[in-house]
Amino acid sequence: MNRILNRIGEAIKGTSLEPILDQAFYTVVGPREISTTVGDYTGTFAAHSSREYHGVQTLDDEKEITETFLSHLSEDDIAWDIGANVGWHAILMGQIAPTVAFEPNPRSFSKLHRNICLNPTCDVVPVCAGLGPTADSETTSTTGIGEGAGAAVLPIFDVDTDEYRSTLVMEGQTDPPLFTSPDAIKLDVQGLESDVLTSFGEQLDTIRLLMVEYHKGRIVGDWTAEKLHEYVCNSGFSVVETNIRRDDVIRIYEQT
C-alpha cells in the first residue's frame, strides 16, 4: 500500500493536483505512521502530510549531523529541544537523556504530544512554550528554570497562525524551579536564535553541548549567523561539526 501511495505521490509532485489530493488523502485516511533510524535509535512518528512523511525519512536532510549530536549526548545529561516542532529530534534525544521539548505553536504541539505517545520508552516532557528575552511589561506569570534562575510566561501573538502562543523568558529568579537547567540543547527557532541564545546570559557557558540551526537572512535584530557563532564561541564553545542545509547552517558545539 505504501509503495503504491509513494508512486502516486511522485507522479503528482510539483503539479497543481499535489496539494489538493494530499489534503484530501490525509483528511479522509488520517495520519500515517512511519519510523526512522538514526545511529542506534529509532523513532516512530505520525505524518499528517506527504511533506512530513518524506521529511521523517531523512529528518529533513539532518540525519548525519543529528547522529553526531546524539553520539555526544550522555544519559547523565538533561537535554532541551527548543523549537521541537513535531518532535523528530526530541524523540531520539529522549532515548538517551531526559528531554524537555519546547514548542510554542499549538498545532505543532498537538502533533508533538501524539508522537511522544507513539514512543512510550522515550523520556520527553512536552512544554507548549518557546524561550525568549524578558519584557517586564508583558509578564503574566513566572516559573523557575534551574537554581538561581527564573522565567516568565508571556502571551505572544503569532501572525502566521493568527493565534496566541506562550514564550518562556530566561531572566529573573523564582523559587522553587520548574525545570532543571540543561546540559545539552538543540535549537531550531526559525530566525529567533539571537533571542534564545542571549536570553541565557551567563548560563550559556554552563551548557556542555549545543546544536544550533542558524536561519540565515531571517535572524531578528542586528544579529547575523556569523555574529551569533562568535557569541557562542566566546562563551567557551568549539565547533564539533558544521552542515550547510540549503540557505541555513547547522553547527554542533561542545564546551571546551
> How do residues 58-97 score in pLDDT, each as one tens digit?
998 999 999 999 999 999 999 999 999 999 999 999 999 9
Residue with the larger pLDDT of the pair 67 and 147: 67
The per-residue pLDDT for range 193-239, each reduced to its tens digit, is: 988 888 888 888 889 999 999 998 888 889 999 999 999 999 999 99
Q: Which residue has the higher pLDDT, 81 or 4?
A: 81
- pLDDT classification of 114: cutoffs 50, 70, 90: very high
pLDDT reading at 175 higher than 70: no
Q: Are strands 79-82 and 184-187 parallel, antiparallel or unpaired?
A: parallel
Do 102 and 151 contact (CB within 8 A), yes or no?
A: no
Q: What is the pLDDT of residue 21?
A: 80
- Give the per-residue pLDDT at 73: 98
Question: In which band, very low, low, confident or very high, does the pLDDT at 106 lie, cut at 50, 70 and 90?
Answer: confident
pLDDT band at 251 (very low <50, low <70, confident <90, very high): very high
What average pLDDT is seen over the chain?
A: 82
* Distance from chain centroid for Cα 146: 20
For the chain, what percent of residues have pLDDT higher than 70? 79
pLDDT band at 133 (very low <50, low <70, confident <90, very high): low
Q: How far apart, in whole angstroms, are the C-alpha atoms of residue 169 and residue 235?
A: 20
CA 65 to chain CA centroid, nearest Å: 14
Amino acid in position 100: V
Burial 104-124 (b: 16+ CB within 10 A, else e): bbeebbebbbebbebbeebbb
Q: Confidence class of residue 119 from pLDDT cuts 50, 70 and 90?
A: very high
- The pLDDT score that the predictor gives to residue 202 is 83
Helix 17-29, helix 2-12: angle, nearest 10: 150
Peptide bond between residue 104 and the one before it cis (omega within 30 degrees of 0)? no
Spell out the domains of the chain, with CATH numbers in brackets.
62-255 (3.40.50.150)
Question: pLDDT tens digits for 18-35?
Answer: 788 888 888 888 899 999
* Model pLDDT, residue 112: 92
39: pLDDT strictly greater than 60: yes
Mean pLDDT of 107-123: 92
pTM for this predicted structure? 0.81
